[in-house]
Amino acid sequence: MSKTVVVGLSGGVDSSVAAAILKEQGYNVIGLFMRNWDSSTNNDVLGNPEVDDDVCSQEVDYQDAEKVANKLGIPIHRVDFIEEYWDNVFSYFLEEYKRGRTPNPDILCNKYIKFDAFIKHAEKFNPDYIAMGHYARVTHGEETKMLRGVDGNKDQTYFLSQLTEKQLSKVLFPVGDLDKSEVRAIAHKYDLATKDKKDSTGICFIGERDFNKFLNNYLPSKNGNMVTLEGEVIGKHNGLMYYTIGQRKGLGIGGSNKFGNEPWFVVGKDLEKNELYVGQGFHHPVLYTDSCFVEEINLINMKKFSGKFECTAKFRYRQSDVPVYIEFINDDILVTFKEDVRAVTPGQAAVFYDGDVCLGGGFIKEAYKNGVKRKY
């Protein structure tokens, strides 16, 4: 008897091809489309390019998912997780911005929606597995391990680092062994409606927005001074939440005769004074740190350990791996870098790897240089 798998059909090419591969492999495939955002309910007006559209992009995505399901001859269902998304993902997202940090909603979206609410809802179909179109790999054996996707440019384990071994034990990633070009080729082979569809970008399940205006729907902005580390005021900022450590674009201050012509970058924040610290030069020394504390730890296969463990880490999605040592200090992890790292930003994820195996990770709490906490 065929095993049953419920596939998260998003209306994109990756999940479409995941469903096609599973059908070809002989699984009994059921499609499930998630709707997690409602612009009218959630007051998503400012910065929303679709606000006057007759049909929102999520409805277009559902129609595309439905076309794919019909082409493959599989059933498709839809479910709303609008409340769960607001409570578990978006509320956290807003709270982090209030704290002056830079959150990553995609990671929480995977943890609480795609691999929690989705799995619970899918149980009504009594599946053996659930599947998603992520670029990652899972090995099922005595223990379940998550490995980077074969396509290093598309690998999404960074965003999946908060998943548990239990969650992953029931998961299949059919496109994790493929390059993006191979995924497109399979979509063309099956003549799927999504074969040439552009990849989605923007905030998880919300999409493209004018970010500053979008945040203004939910958080009041508070203007303040841009200051050098020496305390000299050189401009105004529009609200600390709009800036991240290491940012250059959007500061509105060019070089000047007084300061020279080197570009300016965000090098720190002071929430109490509502001041944004700026400094000149991509390699400004204050942007570099040698260690950080990471909180909200999730280790996929490892238990809490004593002593130091050598591995690599990513502090941003597109960043190359950095060699590090990690050790538990109470419930947090102290990460010590073998070489200084630029723009390690509180609120972002720190994800640990042993070769291709993703060990898990947490969220950056504080960054340090020579034992002194940076004003991030």
DSSP 69-95: HHHHT--EEEEE-HHHHIIIIIHHHHH
CB crowding 227-257: b at 16 or more within 10 Å, else e = beeeeeeeeebbbbbbbbbbbeeebeeeeee
Both tokens of residue 242?
Answer: 């709009």
Burial of residue 189, with CB atoms counted within 10 A of its CB: 0-12 exposed, 13-18 middle, 19 or more buried: exposed
56 flagged as catalytic: no
Rounded to whole angstroms, how far apart are CA atoms 318 and 284? Answer: 21
Which listed residue (56, 204, 311, 358) is catalytic? Answer: 204
Q: Which secondary structure element, helix H or strand E, spans residue 224, and what is its range?
A: strand 224-227
**Residue of 243, 240, 267, 329 whose CA lies nearest to 292:** 329
The residue type at 213: K
Among residues 56, 109, 292, 311, which one is catalytic?
A: 109
Say whether 204 is catalytic: yes
* Catalytic center residues: 109, 204
